[in-house]
Structure 1
Amino acid sequence: MKKLFFIALVLLQQSCLYAQKKTGNSPGNFLRPEQWEVEPGKVEFTGSGDQSVMKITNAGTVARLKNIEFANGIIEYDVQLQEPGFASIYFRMQDMLETECFYLRGGRAGNPVAMDAIQYAPFLKGVNLWDLLPQYQAAAELYPDRPNHIKLVISGKKMLAYVNSSQWPALQIPLLEGNTIKGAIAFDGKVIISHLTIKPNETEGLSPEAGMDITNNDPRYLRSWKVSAPFEFPVGQELYSKLLPDSTVQWQPIHAERAGLVNLTRLLGGGNYLKRQAVWLKVVLQVKKEQTKKMDFGFSDEVWVYLNGKTIYTDKNLYPEAMRKVPDGRISVENAQFELPLKTGDNELLIGVANNFYGWGIIARLGSMDGVVIK
């Protein structure tokens, strides 16, 4: 008799735990007003149960879910766009300085071939890296006048983003590039959120290991540099040869990340709209005989390239349409190409980089490494 009573008690406890888990994950249970940290008067909650909705009435208002520390799993929700702006979800969020971020560009709704309808872009030191990671944007069929169903599967270093489809992800992220591994979940944008479910640690078999970077197969990328300390550089000034670094400048090593990106934002943060800053990057190319090499060059935002003290190239990749480089103001080796006339022996390549708008960095790829040694 005691044994039967014990079995019944265990089954009852398991049933209760299952019911609690099911209730906690069901749509609507995460959309009660007491569960959210919001600015007064800028977020509205209506409905109940599965019909609960959260309406963010002001673009730029962040609604943060309380008492949830999310690392891996599935986040699923419906989002209805209220204007052609951005509709963002933050996850593994520490604050607005350090967080992962996935967002819809509402202005692309109704255009299923727009290449930047959706984007993944982490925040590092408060800077959104959208302009440094064009490979993490994609086309998607967004609805302008009805809810869009979003499903994010997050596992370790990887993420799959499904948009209005359960069959195939609209965006596949081989490496989540943020600095955080766990944190809060939050939304922003002028949107209506409904049917929010969170399933911690359910990853549908998605490997947590980072995917391959195929540019690692290409030896032409210049990956090891030295970087100076940043210095203030007011808008309107140029890095002319008289400002080349002298022997007093202190250097530290910096190495390229995926796709050959020398990511200055991760190391230094970013400038702001009123306070432009700059650094110098340096590498030495050694050749046994005089030769000319082509360089494919990506950059953000402004660059001055010197070889052995002589100007080789200078340009700007700024977001105003007239100043954008292909592709659409993002960093890419498509941005520019020029020649490096290398002399016999050591050749010092110096690149000044300035920034006051989102991410900054360079990508440098020689046409050939034949006869070139990096020092």
Structure 2
Amino acid sequence: MIASAWTTKGNVTFLPDRSAIVIAQGGSAELNATTFSSGTIEFDMKSPGGNVGLTFHMRGDTGEALYFRPSADCATSNDCVQYMRIDHGIFEWDLFGDNQARALFGANVWNHVKLSVNGRSMHVWVNGTLVSAPRDNLLVGAFDSGTIKLHGPASYAHLTIAPAVPTDNPERSASAAAGDTHFVTRWLASSAFIMPSTFDAKLGQNIGVAPSIESLPATDTFGHVLYADPTGLINVTAALGEAQKGNAIVATWLKTVVTSEHAQVKRVSIGWTREAWVFVNGELVYADKNLYGVPGASKMPDGRLSLDNGAFDLPLKKGRNEIDVLLDDNFGGGVQHFGWGLMMRLPDLEGVQLSTH
């Protein structure tokens, strides 16, 4: 825990006895000359509160994070510890809301944290107790190896890193949605654009103006192919980056195809952030908002992306059916965004074929 071993940002202090690193709010310390893939990371950590922890498998501004929210009720709070992906420097809190758990993690006292990473699997212990984050112990970051960085406000001590035995490191799985064929796993996406918006006096913020199908770009302009990650998530942040800061609302069109053996109606579960309009064969069939922290426009759970956000009936004709979704990243003019994406699942696939390539 010496200054020469780290690259720091912000207010970072190395104790004279080399026992700990103290990192202030907004500061960070990145370990030099170390690439971590699989193995164990252990450290002691003390924090007054806030969102603190480490990022790993980092390459530039993309990687993964394990974060803590130290508080007096951490043992009973489901958001005490959270795992998430990071893309383009964006901590995607709201795309991975179900990758969090309670833990025996105290504020302003020393806590012991251990991560055991084996390929695309990670187990986490806090003060000797196994916690259930990430969900199903599954890592979904963009990379399998990269740097390690500690974030404040917190003090860190007794950091140890041990590599895994090479034969214990399984290959990364390329399967989408962990083999759940009920998810829509392939979409085409347009480039991001600023969409028309208007001020909603009832909600107290700008919202997107409902689009018409006539504003759908030509198919040959959809230059991005997006595949679901192992959780079924279409991660728009990873593909298109962050929404523009400020009051402008940035959007994209997503397109997929569903083939039906005959005319029928299928129930669909949908999760999204932040506003979505769904068209089937040119007709609007669903529209809703999931705006974090906005009463009346925030879906369970807590305005984060989940299949519990909503559901609708999908009318299908015999043969090819085109589904077009206008999705925006409306975060109320905030200076920082926390991910935007889409998740869609059909519980009943009888007589239906989803696009996979």
**Structure-1 residue corresponding to 2:143:** 180
**Structure-1 residue corresponding to 2:23:** 56
Q: Is the Cα contact below 8 Å between 1:175 and 1:210 reproduced in 2?
A: no
Matched residues in 2 for 1:248 and 1:70: separation? 41
Shift in alpha-carbon separation, 1:321–1:106, aligned structure 2, 3 A: farther
Q: Is the Cα contact below 8 Å between 1:162 and 1:168 reproduced in 2?
A: yes
Shift in alpha-carbon separation, 1:312–1:187, aligned structure 2, 3 A: same
Report the CA distance between 1:206 and its aligned residue.
6.0
Structure that is richer in helix per residue: 1
Matched residues in 2 for 1:188 and 1:148: separation? 15
**Structure-1 residue corresponding to 2:56:** 91
Q: Is the Cα contact below 8 Å between 1:86 and 1:104 reproduced in 2?
A: yes
Q: Is the Cα contact below 8 Å between 2:38 and 2:119 reproduced in 1?
A: yes
Matched residues in 2 for 1:157 and 1:104: separation? 21
Aligned residues: 336
Moved more, 179-188 or 239-248: 239-248
- Aligned residue for 1:277, secondary structure, equals strand
Shift in alpha-carbon separation, 1:39–1:373, aligned structure 2, 3 A: closer
Report the CA distance between 1:288 and its aligned residue.
4.3
Q: Unaligned 5+ residue runs, structure 1?
A: 1-30
Shift in alpha-carbon separation, 1:207–1:240, aligned structure 2, 3 A: same
Is 1:233–2:189 an aligned residue pair? Answer: no
1:295-306 correspondence runs (5 A):
295-306=268-279
**Structure-2 residue corresponding to 1:350:** 324
Shift in alpha-carbon separation, 1:206–1:321, aligned structure 2, 3 A: farther
Is 1:76–2:69 an aligned residue pair? Answer: no
Q: Is the Cα contact below 8 Å between 1:87 and 1:191 reproduced in 2?
A: yes
Q: Unaligned 5+ residue runs, structure 2?
A: 199-207, 331-336
Q: TM-score, normalised by structure 1?
A: 0.80
Matched residues in 2 for 1:360 and 1:263: separation? 7
Is 1:262–2:234 an aligned residue pair? Answer: yes
**Structure-1 residue corresponding to 2:67:** 103
Report the CA distance between 1:153 and its aligned residue.
1.5
**Structure-2 residue corresponding to 1:294:** 267
Is 1:365–2:345 an aligned residue pair? Answer: yes
**Structure-1 residue corresponding to 2:282:** 309
Matched residues in 2 for 1:345 and 1:214: separation? 25
Q: Is the Cα contact below 8 Å between 2:102 and 2:131 reproduced in 1?
A: no
The runs of at least 4 consecutive aligned structure 1 residues that moved more than 4 Å come to 209-217
- Aligned residue for 2:342, secondary structure, equals strand
Q: Is the Cα contact below 8 Å between 1:228 and 1:249 reproduced in 2?
A: no
Q: Deviations over 1:144-187 (max 9, x none)?
A: 2311110111232222111111x535435644222233332221
Structure that is richer in strand per residue: 2
Q: TM-score, normalised by structure 2?
A: 0.84
- Aligned residue for 1:258, secondary structure, equals coil
Q: Is the Cα contact below 8 Å between 2:120 and 2:138 reproduced in 1?
A: yes
Q: Is the Cα contact below 8 Å between 1:174 and 1:212 reproduced in 2?
A: no
**Structure-1 residue corresponding to 2:215:** 244
**Structure-1 residue corresponding to 2:13:** 44
- Aligned residue for 1:131, secondary structure, equals helix
Report the CA distance between 1:344 and its aligned residue.
3.8
Among 294, 298, 307, the residue aligned to 1:324: 298
Among 76, 93, 112, the residue aligned to 2:75: 112
Alpha-carbon RMSD across the aligned residues, in angstroms, is: 2.7
Shift in alpha-carbon separation, 1:247–1:101, aligned structure 2, 3 A: closer
Q: Is the Cα contact below 8 Å between 2:46 and 2:156 reproduced in 1?
A: yes
Report the CA distance between 1:217 and its aligned residue.
4.9
Report the CA distance between 1:234 and its aligned residue.
5.3
Matched residues in 2 for 1:372 and 1:90: separation? 41
Q: Is the Cα contact below 8 Å between 1:299 and 1:317 reproduced in 2?
A: yes
Structure (1 or 2) with the larger CA radius of gyration: 1
